């Protein structure tokens, strides 16, 4: 080896000795003990800081932590990094590069250890507070890092009240339901207070001795139909008041004097035949009552020849079926049942003429409208009572004098009264019937006597359609019952 190479080699050794001198065994052991001491100091300060966070700090712990911080600061300050000058020469440059690479590795390992320390601190210290409040990292001008553990101050303990008022925000729908429930409970719990008028009336009755009079019992016939929407319980009373006011619009005056070719006997024959047709087609009861109403109203405004009286009857029933029935008979059915006495064109022309004269006014309160209500008021209601009432009502429809002298509501109430007399119901006329019909017993006796008289003469009458209809066991054979003797005229010999 030449002198020049030995010179560069010795320079390299010197250069390497500046940064990392070779130590003897005893020096290495001393350096290891120093490192162990620094590690113990670091761990002591670390666990002391943790104990301060979780267990609180006493004065002795604070003094010991201060001493540990001073030792750690001195130890970290002794590790000052001296940046050597850049060596010259090939070997010097090579050793310089090796030194820089080793320095980068050392700094990287140190940075990793510092990040690990910060990570552990963030776990053991308060997570809610930022890391800078737990550990301060101070970097000096000489590049040495200093770690200083901060012991957080104890925060005053705030005792929360055990029972706190909780406000629940509910929806508008829930609030409305709650308010409605409260109002309903308040209404139900409120005791009815007597007015001054009620008090004065009660005192007047007491003074006159009327308080001991038994109260009339009126049965609420609609109580059982409250849940039935088709019964229209809320409006039924108003509806029947309206029917009573408008029933005069559907009534007819005595028109037989204005008909040159028709008399009351011919009308009775037509009605008897229409009852047979109604039964043959199995139509609704409403259709029969509306048919007879249309016939009478048309005959009261139009002169009809005798040969067209049956045509008026089948055309009127065709109109009524179109109004009341779901499946109305066809025109050909009425032509066939009239033994082809008329053709299709004649039926349609008569239908048009009837609707024109009546001005299409078909919604009228017929006796059937009142019969349904009054039979319901005749409690207890049974099928025998119902069939007997309809029997008397149809007898009244067939007789011209009955429909001329009495209104539909009075005819219906009289049919109920005559049926109760025939079936020996007691009492014959109740307060419930008086309330719902609006008629007293005295007002119905005259009409009821006419109906019972028709019943007594039915066996001798040539028109048998009604008797055959109600002699059927399906209708209780009510036509076979003896008429009420209390309403029959007394024969004086």
Residue 393 contacts by C-beta under 8 Å, 6 or more apart in sequence? 367, 368, 371, 411, 412, 415
What is the structure's pLDDT at 294? 95
Residue 414 buriedness (CB in 10 A; 0-12 / 13-18 / 19+): buried
Instruction: Please tell me whether residues 334 and 299 are part of one structural domain.
Output: yes
pLDDT higher at 186 or 387? 387
Cα–Cα distance, 244 to 238 (Å, whole number): 10
| 334 lies in the same domain as 407 | no
Residue 135 confidence (pLDDT) above 80: no
Among 358, 390, 415, which residue terminates a domain?
358
Identify the residue with better confidence: 17 or 238: 238
Is the per-residue pLDDT at 417 higher than 80?
Answer: yes
Q: What is the DSSP letter of 347?
A: H
Residue 485's pLDDT is what?
84
Shared-domain flag, residues 377 and 338: no
Q: How many separate helices (H) and strands (E) can be counted in the chain?
A: 19, 2
Give the domain-ending residue among 358, 383, 405: 358
On the question of a cis peptide bond just before residue 419, with omega within 30 degrees of 0, the verdict is no
Angle at 396 between CA 395 and CA 397, to 5 degrees: 90
**Does 26 or 158 have the greater pLDDT score?**
26
Residue written as tokens 């990292």?
Answer: 137
Which is more confident, 41 or 198? Answer: 198
CB-based contact 451:415 (threshold 8 Å): yes
- Indicate the helix (H) or strand (E) that contains 145: strand 145-149
83 or 96, which is more confident? 96
Let me know whether 287 and 389 are in one domain. no
What does each C-alpha distance from 419 to 407, 431, 454 come to in angstroms?
Answer: 18, 17, 13
| CA angle at 180 for the pair 176 and 185, rounded to the nearest 5° | 150
Residue 371: half-sphere exposure toward Cβ, Cα within 13 Å: 24
Tell me the C-alpha distance between 265 and 288, whole Å: 19
Cα 389 to Cα 393: distance, rounded to the nearest angstrom: 6
Phi/psi at 80 (5° precision): -80, 135
DSSP letter (8 states) at residue 260:
S
**3-state DSSP call for residue 22?**
coil
Number of folded domains in the chain? 3
pLDDT of residue 426: 86
Encode pLDDT of 262-289 as tens digits: 999 999 999 999 999 999 999 999 999 9
Q: What is the mean pLDDT of the chain?
A: 76
Q: What is the CB-side half-sphere exposure of residue 379 using CA atoms within 13 A?
A: 15
Asked if pLDDT for residue 377 goes beyond 60, the answer is yes
User: CB-based contacts of 383: which residues, under 8 Å, 6+ apart?
Assistant: 476
Please give the residue that has the higher pLDDT: either 7 or 311.
311
Model pLDDT, residue 121: 52
Cis peptide before 176 (omega within 30 of 0): no
381: pLDDT strictly greater than 60: yes
Q: Tens digits of per-residue pLDDT, 215-253?
A: 557 888 888 888 888 888 889 999 999 999 998 888 888
Q: Which residues contact 132 (CB under 8 A, 6 or more apart)?
A: none
Residues 377 and 340 grouped into a single domain? no
**pLDDT confidence tier of residue 8, bands split at 50, 70 and 90:** very low
Q: How confident is the model at residue 493 (pLDDT cuts 50, 70, 90)?
A: very low
Higher-pLDDT residue of 330 and 182 is 330
Residue length of the chain:
493
Domain membership flag for residue 244: no
User: Percentage of the chain with pLDDT > 90?
Assistant: 42
Quote the CA–CA distance of 392 and 481 in Å, as a whole number: 12
CA–CA gap between residue 279 and residue 260 (Å, rounded): 31
Query: Is 17's pLDDT higher than 70?
Result: no
**12 with 123, same domain?**
yes
What is the distance, to the nearest Å, from the Cα of residue 219 to the centroid of all Cα atoms in its chain? Answer: 33
In a domain, 455, yes or no: yes
**Within a domain: residue 100?**
yes
Domain boundary among 98, 127, 149: 149
Residue 206 included in any domain: no
pLDDT for 11 equals 44
Tokens coding 244:
């009573």
Q: Tell me whether residue 168 is in a domain.
A: no
Q: Confirm if 369 and 414 have CB atoms less than 8 A apart.
A: no
Host domain of residue 432: 367-487
Residues 395 and 325 in one domain: no
Domain membership of residue 226 (yes or no) is no
| Exposed/middle/buried for residue 278 (C-beta within 10 Å: 0-12, 13-18, 19+) | buried
Cα–Cα distances in Å, from 424 out to 46, 274, 430, 450?
A: 113, 32, 13, 18
Indicate the pLDDT class of residue 4, thresholds 50, 70 and 90: very low
Percent of the chain with pLDDT strictly greater than 70: 59
Most confident segment among 2-16, 82-96, 185-199, 395-409: 395-409
Mean predicted confidence (pLDDT) in 395-414: 93
How far apart are alpha carbons 388 and 480 in whole angstroms? 10
The 3-state DSSP class for residue 189 equals helix
Give me the pLDDT at residue 486, please. Answer: 83
Place of tokens 């024109």: 356
86 and 13 inside one domain = yes
Distant-in-sequence, close-in-space partners of 325: CB < 8 Å, separation ≥ 6: 283, 284, 287
pLDDT tens for each residue of 289-335: 999 999 999 999 999 999 999 999 999 999 999 999 999 999 999 99
Q: Are 373 and 348 part of one and the same domain?
A: no
For 35-91, the pLDDT digits (tens) are: 666 676 667 666 665 555 444 444 554 555 555 555 555 555 554 444 444 444 555
Q: How far is CA 382 from the centre of its chain?
A: 38
Nearest to 81 by CA among 102, 98, 97, 103: 103
Instruction: Please classify residue 493 by burial: count the beta carbons closer than 10 Å to its beta carbon, then call 0-12 exposed, 13-18 middle and 19+ buried.
Output: exposed
The verdict on 118 and 59 lying in the same domain is: yes
Whether pLDDT at 474 is above 80: yes
Do 128 and 37 reside in the same domain of the chain?
yes
The CATH number linked to 400 is 1.10.472.10
The answer to whether residue 198 sits within a structural domain is no
Q: Which two tokens stand for residue 30?
A: 């001393």
CA-closest candidate to residue 304, choices 267, 251, 254: 267
Q: Are residues 322 and 349 in the same domain?
A: yes
Query: Minimum mean pLDDT among 27-31, 127-131, 296-300: which range?
Result: 127-131
The answer to whether position 160 is within a domain reads: no
């Amino acid at each position: 080896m030449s002198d020049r190479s030995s010179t560069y080699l010795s320079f390299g050794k010197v250069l390497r000795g500046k940064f990392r001198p070779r130590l003897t065994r005893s020096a290495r052991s001393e350096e290891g003990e120093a490192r162990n001491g620094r590690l113990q100091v670091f761990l002591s300060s670390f666990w002391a800081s943790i104990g301060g966070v979780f267990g609180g700090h006493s004065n002795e712990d604070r003094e010991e932590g201060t001493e540990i911080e001073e030792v750690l600061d001195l130890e970290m300050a002794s590790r000052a990094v001296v940046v050597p000058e850049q060596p010259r020469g090939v070997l010097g440059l090579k050793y310089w590069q090796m030194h820089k690479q080793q320095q980068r590795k050392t700094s990287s390992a140190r940075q990793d250890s510092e990040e690990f320390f910060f990570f552990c601190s963030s776990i053991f210290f308060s997570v809610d507070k930022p890391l800078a409040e737990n550990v301060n990292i101070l970097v000096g001008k000489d590049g040495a890092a200093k770690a200083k553990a901060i012991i957080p101050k104890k925060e005053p303990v705030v005792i929360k009240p055990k029972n706190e008022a909780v406000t629940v925000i509910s929806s508008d729908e829930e609030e409305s339901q709650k308010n409605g429930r409260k109002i309903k409970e308040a209404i139900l719990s409120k005791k009815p207070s007597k007015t001054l008028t009620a008090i004065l009336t009660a005192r007047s009755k007491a003074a006159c001795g009327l308080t001991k009079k038994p109260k009339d019992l009126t049965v609420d016939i609609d109580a059982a139909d409250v849940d039935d929407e088709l019964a229209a319980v809320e409006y039924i009373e108003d509806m029947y008041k309206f029917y009573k006011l408008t029933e005069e619009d559907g009534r007819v005056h005595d028109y037989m004097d204005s008909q040159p070719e028709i008399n009351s006997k011919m009308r009775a024959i037509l009605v008897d035949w229409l009852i047979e047709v109604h039964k043959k087609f199995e139509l609704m009861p409403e259709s029969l009552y509306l048919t007879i109403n249309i016939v009478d109203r048309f005959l009261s405004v139009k002169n009809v020849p005798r040969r067209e009286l049956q045509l008026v009857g089948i055309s009127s029933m065709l109109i009524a079926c179109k109004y009341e029935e779901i499946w109305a008979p066809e025109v050909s059915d009425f032509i066939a049942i009239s033994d082809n006495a008329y053709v299709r064109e004649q039926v349609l022309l008569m239908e048009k003429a009837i609707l024109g004269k009546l001005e299409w006014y078909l919604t009228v309160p017929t006796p059937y409208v009142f019969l349904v209500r009054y039979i319901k008021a005749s409690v207890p209601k049974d099928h025998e009572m119902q069939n007997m009432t309809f029997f008397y009502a149809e007898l009244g429809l067939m007789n011209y004098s009955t429909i001329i002298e009495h209104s539909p509501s009075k005819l219906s109430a009289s049919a109920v009264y005559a049926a109760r007399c025939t079936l020996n119901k007691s009492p014959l006329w109740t307060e419930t019937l008086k309330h719902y019909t609006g008629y007293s017993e005295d007002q119905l006796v005259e009409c009821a006597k006419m109906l019972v008289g028709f019943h007594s003469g039915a066996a001798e009458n040539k028109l048998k359609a009604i008797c055959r209809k109600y002699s059927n066991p399906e209708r209780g054979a009510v036509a076979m019952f003896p008429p009420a003797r209390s309403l029959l005229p007394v024969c004086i010999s």
